[in-house]
Amino acid sequence: MMLLPCPYCGPRDVTEFTYGGDDGTVRPGDPQAVSDARWVSYVYIRDNPRGPHDELWQHSAGCRRWIRVRRDTLTHQVLSSAPAAQPVQP
């Protein structure tokens, strides 16, 4: 079991959350002006980092708010969390 510390509700089981993706992924601007190759890259191509990584999660079975989580992808240890509008502290 992995607990994610929701800044609004406190620690909750990961099953209450929906993974939102890499915190550093930026959606392309104008969809009509972006090539198909760029869309494929945005939707499917992801880094697979080893170690601390910032992610977005939605507390879908709780407060329904988005949060940022810094998690070690090797050990699954959650290092910190913050509301989505704030940066995650190291």
Residue 31 domain-assigned (yes or no): no
Q: What totals of helices (H) and strands (E) does the chain contain, helices first? A: 1, 6
Residue 25: the pLDDT is: 84
CATH number at residue 61: 3.30.2270.10
The answer to whether 53 and 81 have CB atoms below 8 angstroms apart is no
* pTM, full prediction: 0.84
**Domain span including residue 50:** 3-24+38-83
* Interval 11-67: pLDDT, tens: 999 999 999 988 888 888 888 899 999 999 888 988 888 999 999 999 999 999 999
pLDDT for residue 72: 95
Distance set, CA 79 to CA 8, 30, 40, 62 (Å): 17, 35, 31, 21
Residue 16 falls within a domain, yes or no? yes
Whether 14 is in a domain gets the answer: yes
Compute the distance between CA of residue 41 and CA of residue 50 in angstroms, rounded to an integer: 20
Stretch 1-12: mean pLDDT? 95
